[in-house]
């Protein structure tokens, strides 16, 4: 029998009300355990449980997967999600950074969204394996502690390094090319040279287990005007994920994406061959130009099976 969910007071705010209604939908479907919904939703039980936690607004993809798995009205919930998202993000988030921003350089623009330099605590779901609890690792909150580098050397988190070296930041309620705002996004920009790159190594709080999967979504940021008016989005990069296994970087997935296609590709890769690995690396590579390569990563997790 699954552990009971913590109670939610719908009056605590829009996220709590949204999560409470998701729980009501599941109850109306017979209150199936989250593990029973995994096959229909194509998300782990921990991800589905977190969607109904009331702490955050789940991504649109996760919300609709939850609704489909419970037999809900997908179109109605999509409208509901957009209403909550817009009502809680009408004003851009403040920049949480005690240091002044770097000076403009001739060959670059500022980030097209507000960034924050401080990340909250790591959140992780739990599943049972052989009676023991195994964590699902959310990589987004770990980005601040990752080791970032480009062809110029070490890149400090939060724009502390010269901007032309490349940048790594966190964006909250960020406007993305698909026309959706996303709650927490790792913002990356490769070094500002042709075929420049930026990569970050994430030490994992537990080693990779057999059956683990790397999942996530990638895409390009847009500025507020383009988010509203739908203008053309620049940028073209390769998104790659590696696992450092026995000291050797092993590429597990790579996606080529352009900013004007309005698509945000989903990542999915089996990590079973790399059991015991303790580091994940994410990387963006520019093409012939690095201009406008504002590349984002979100819902990036290592998920155990089931």
Domains defined for the chain, CATH in brackets: 10-87 (1.10.260), 115-303 (2.60.120.1060)
**C-alpha 295 chain-centroid distance:** 12
pLDDT for res 183: 86
Predicted confidence at residue 70, as pLDDT, reads 95
Query: What's the pLDDT score for residue 229?
Result: 56
The predicted pLDDT at position 148 comes to: 96
Residue among 287, 262, 294, 115 nearest 178 (CA): 262
Predicted local distance difference test score (pLDDT) of residue 62: 87
Q: What is the mean pLDDT of each run of 10 residues along the chain (306 residues)?
A: 74 87 95 91 86 82 92 91 64 36 41 46 44 77 93 84 82 83 90 93 95 94 64 80 93 91 90 95 92 90 88
The single residue listed with the structure tokens 């607004």 is 57
Q: What SS3 state is found at 26? A: helix
Whole-model pTM above 0.75? no
Q: For residue 115, which of 196, 53, 169, 58 has the smallest C-alpha distance?
A: 169
pLDDT of amino acid 15? 85
| C-alpha distances out from residue 247 to 39, 123, 151, 279, 285, Å | 34, 27, 20, 10, 22
Q: What is the pLDDT of residue 73?
A: 94
DSSP 240: E
**Shortest CA distance to 305 belongs to which of 122, 24, 45?**
45
* The pLDDT of residue 72: 94
As a whole number of angstroms, the distance between CA 60 and CA 67 comes to: 10
């Amino acid at each position: 029998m699954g552990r009971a969910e913590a109670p939610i007071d719908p009056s605590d705010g829009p996220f709590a009300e949204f999560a409470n209604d998701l729980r009501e939908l599941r109850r109306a479907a017979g209150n199936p355990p989250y593990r029973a919904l995994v096959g229909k939703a194509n998300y782990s039980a921990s991800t589905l449980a977190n969607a109904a936690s009331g702490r955050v607004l789940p991504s649109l993809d996760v919300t609709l997967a939850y609704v489909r798995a419970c037999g809900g009205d997908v179109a109605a919930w999509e409208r509901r999600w957009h209403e909550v998202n817009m009502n809680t993000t009408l004003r851009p988030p403040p920049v949480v950074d005690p240091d002044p921003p770097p000076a403009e350089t001739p060959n670059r623009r500022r980030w097209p969204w507000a960034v924050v330099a401080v990340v909250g605590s790591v959140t992780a779901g739990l599943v049972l394996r052989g009676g023991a609890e195994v964590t699902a690792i959310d990589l987004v909150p770990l980005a601040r502690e990752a080791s970032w580098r480009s062809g110029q050397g070490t890149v400090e988190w939060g724009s502390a390094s010269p901007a032309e070296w490349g940048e790594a930041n966190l964006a909250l309620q960020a406007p993305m090319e698909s026309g959706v705002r996303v709650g927490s996004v790792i913002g990356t920009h490769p070094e500002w040279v042709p075929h420049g790159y930026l990569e970050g190594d994430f030490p994992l709080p537990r080693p990779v287990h057999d059956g683990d999967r790397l999942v996530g979504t990638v895409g390009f940021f847009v500025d507020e005007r383009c988010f509203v008016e739908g203008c053309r989005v620049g940028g073209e990069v390769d998104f790659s994920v590696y696992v450092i296994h026995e000291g050797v970087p092993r590429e597990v997935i790579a996606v080529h994406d352009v900013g004007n296609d309005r698509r945000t590709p989903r990542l999915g890769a089996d990590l079973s061959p790399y059991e015991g690995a303790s580091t994940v690396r994410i990387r963006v590579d520019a093409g012939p130009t690095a201009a406008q390569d504002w590349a984002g990563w979100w819902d990036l997790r290592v998920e155990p099976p089931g």
